[in-house]
Structure formats: structure tokens, C-alpha cells
Amino acid sequence: MVVSSRRARILSPSARDALEKLRRICAAIGNCEERTSFGHPTFRVRGMSFAVIDHYSGTDCLWLRIDPTRRSELLRDPGWFASPYDPQQKALCCRLDQIDWRRVRPLIRDSFDIAQLAMDGSRDRGPSARRRQ
């Protein structure tokens, strides 16, 4: 896993703990990199984000790409909410204080797979299609 850092925000203790757990999970997945995007620790595959320790409306959360068939189910669970900057409704956030890491681990892997497949599909459509995403 490649790690790069630029102007990272100061993380709360719960966000630091979550980041360490996320790093271990992503290291086990392999083939991903950690970067800082808009000050947030961001995990990417082939240049596409799949997991972010984020902060919205005063709440630390984990942002993930979500299979559309799981979206409604997860939104009914405590702690999950729609990502504020996701007009295509392809991602959700879960409050860090409500994460069940055993349950979220496979969702992180799914998010990785979704991002990887999206990049595979955009590669088939050519560079101009990737820029529009």
C-alpha cells in the first residue's frame, strides 16, 4: 500500500483509531494506496476513492461506495446516512461512533471492488470517459 500525505486535517481520537483499523483492512486487501484528499485520509484503487475517513456536519464518519442493492437496507441501520456530496447516490457514510467493524469489513472490500470495476469500465470507454466521472 502506497501512503502519501498532503495537508491532512487533525483527526479526533476516534478518527485516528478508525484510520488504523481501516489501514489494516486495506493492507489485507492489497493493491490500494492511501492519500490525503481535501484533508481527509482517502484509500484508492487505480486512482478512484473507495474509503475515506471523513467529517460532515460535526460528525466523523467512514465514506464508502455502496452496491445500490444494499443502499436502502444500510440507510435503515443506525449511523448510516447519505453522503452529502454524492449526487449519483453511489456512496454512504457511517458515523464512526456507530461502526460495527466486523460488519463493515466486507463493505470496505465491496467498495474496493466497486471502484476497481468502475475504473475497468472507464478504461474500456477511453480517457475522455474517465475525465467525465
| DSSP letter assigned to residue 90 | -
Q: Where along the chain do its domains lie?
A: 2-124
Of how many residues is the chain composed?
Answer: 133
The closest alpha carbon to 54, from 28, 33, 81, belongs to 81
- Pairing status of strand 59-65 against strand 91-95: antiparallel
Cα 108 from Cα 10, distance rounded (Å): 23
Q: Which residues, at least 6 apart from 109, have a Cβ–Cβ distance to it below 8 Å? A: 25, 29
Give the architecture-level CATH label for domain 2-124: Alpha-Beta Complex (3.90)
pLDDT tens sequence across 48-75: 999 999 999 899 999 999 999 999 999 9
Cα 131 from Cα 133, distance rounded (Å): 6
pLDDT tens sequence across 10-61: 999 999 999 999 999 999 999 999 999 999 999 999 999 999 999 998 999 9
